[in-house]
Structure 1
């Protein structure tokens, strides 16, 4: 009997506490990037392809619950238990803005045009900050029925979706009116909500099910029961024929989108999986866990006869590392103050 091949993940160390959120940038002229949020209060930026560490954003004084990159991967944002959401220069690591809140910030997201940031959290208020006028008061939508767990933009930044920590459903807000125009009903609280790259689907994880919704007509397209309680799910972005889910049993499962059939089951984490995300090209996906590690799994043929993972914490001799496209970012986190100022000016011109 042929020995079954076992997927070998790249293991990204560096966080000292659980990893609770992951976000991939779109593909940029410099490649694509992965940012992670952790309860250790220090979001980290990595090469999205190799997992190699680029830099750490230092300044939060509490657990970081949410993180994201803008469309060009020039700025990062993070939401924290220290009652702030921060904007960072992703080239230099510098803090650009800190937006004060009255309670824990659980979620944040850049608009597609990169000019706005939406935040949500324990206050049950959605806030929209104008990044062109960071000192101006934010717009506030204060009718969320529960603590905000996730936020995302869709429909060309005309709509915001949010889910709550303590009640089921996904709420869709009209940005112009600030009112909820639709609710996607679920039995359990939605712990993960993702808008597909082509804007067609909303992927949600609630309880032990993963659901796919029509992002334009809001109907339920598919719903699959999972083998355990899942915290996060992500749809393959290019073809849309596969999805991943991870949760309390510590495994990351790959499924067929059309049938719900399990294609692969990746074992390796030593704690519940809090977040999973596909890379923008669909060639790999990342998982973040209670064990403090990020693992990057190849969708394709990267296999090994044993289950040993390849560690990566910066450049590793075991990896064929292609870092030309991220040299600018790596240098940015290590340069002098004068050089930082120059790079900042360059980034604003892009």
Structure 2
């Protein structure tokens, strides 16, 4: 592999994402400036300035016209992806933890943290309704939880959303009938769900957890299909767009890193066969745990973001591209 190492953040990465075409890479970190880069050469195009706290998540619409960020400064911001202007700001009483666009790009979802008397919430706003995008605007969908909702995403067009919780619980809601979850999975993870990502075709969901596993789920009913075990907590996992492969990233907890050797910390990204649940490759690079990863739409590149503040664009070599799994 021939990696590009991108340094544009002062603190640990929290999310990297590609746009639909894969020519742009979007990133955010525990500093206050989300960035956008050219994937081809690693050149930074610019940053989105306006937050005053750690930015926990970023997502980009299908046509790369808008992006959304969730921050610890108690705001979610929707930006003009090309010009960098802030279009809307949504305020809350507690930090925002995750965010995402729907399939059409018309709906935006986000989760908020539980703090003091404020419960954790999951909310959906409609960008086409200006009354929802102003100070004090009401959400199109609003739900409260006793346990922190750590991550959420749209899993079917603009209709279904899946939420991961600090307890390891997974729930799926239908926005057309939002009173109760339509599917729940309490057994797939024992500890916090760190990341949820959808397969490019939208038929599978992969969850990463602090219980040292990642799980492949049926997007229609959250049934666990496969489970991938690691030696350390898994912070992020992604699915290849054109092969039966998945990739896990994580490592020893950041608080323990100073007491951990690089080899013992398991800071490598690990590639597993989706069906056989077997690890067959890994690649190093980060000094510290991997916090986030994304698979390029072409299937030939993986982007990883680490606690060390670097983004690494890993381009697969011929050994991987010509690899066939022996049955």
Q: What TM-score results when the alignment is normalised by the length of structure 1?
A: 0.80
Q: Give deviations 1:301-338, integer Å, cap 9, x for gaps.
A: 389xxxxxxxxxxxxxxxxxxxxxxxxxxxxxxxxxxx
- CA distance in 2: counterparts of 1:171 and 1:266, whole angstroms: 33
Secondary structure of the equivalent of 2:287?
A: coil
**Shift of the alpha carbon at 1:93?**
0.8
Partner residue of 1:94?
85
Does 1:54 pair with 2:45?
Answer: yes
Partner residue of 2:4?
10
Partner residue of 1:198?
201
Does 1:222 pair with 2:216?
Answer: no
Partner residue of 2:143?
142
Partner residue of 2:267?
250
- CA distance in 2: counterparts of 1:33 and 1:117, whole angstroms: 20
Tell me, yes or no, if the aligned pair for 2:48 and 2:85 is still in contact at 8 Å: yes
Partner residue of 2:117?
none
- CA distance in 2: counterparts of 1:300 and 1:73, whole angstroms: 28
Partner residue of 1:299?
316
Partner residue of 1:315?
none
Segments ≥4 residues shifted beyond 4 Å:
none
Query: Structure 2 vs 1, CA of residues 26 and 188 (structure 1 numbering), >3 Å: closer, same or farther?
Result: same
Q: Give deviations 1:264-293, integer Å, cap 9, x for gaps.
A: 211111111101110112110111011000
User: Could you list the runs of 5+ residues in structure 1 that have no partner in the other structure?
Assistant: 1-6, 304-350
**Shift of the alpha carbon at 1:50?**
3.2
- CA distance in 2: counterparts of 1:150 and 1:48, whole angstroms: 25
* 1:1-350 paired onto structure 2 within 5 Å: 7-27=1-21, 32-123=23-114, 124-136=120-132, 137-164=138-165, 166-178=166-178, 179-185=180-186, 186-206=189-209, 207-239=211-243, 241-248=244-251, 249-301=266-318
Q: Give deviations 1:102-160, integer Å, cap 9, x for gaps.
A: 11000100111111100102041111111112432223422334212111102221111
**Shift of the alpha carbon at 1:161?**
0.6
Tell me, yes or no, if the aligned pair for 1:89 and 1:95 is still in contact at 8 Å: yes
How many residue pairs end up in the alignment? 292
- CA distance in 1: counterparts of 2:78 and 2:212, whole angstroms: 34
**Shift of the alpha carbon at 1:24?**
1.4
**Shift of the alpha carbon at 1:199?**
1.1
- CA distance in 2: counterparts of 1:273 and 1:25, whole angstroms: 21
Q: What TM-score results when the alignment is normalised by the length of structure 2?
A: 0.85
CA RMSD of aligned residues (A): 1.6
Higher relative contact order (CA 8 A, sep 6+): 1
Partner residue of 1:326?
none
User: Could you list the runs of 5+ residues in structure 2 that have no partner in the other structure?
Assistant: 115-119, 133-137, 252-265, 321-327
Secondary structure of the equivalent of 2:67?
A: strand
Query: Structure 2 vs 1, CA of residues 54 and 302 (structure 1 numbering), >3 Å: closer, same or farther?
Result: farther
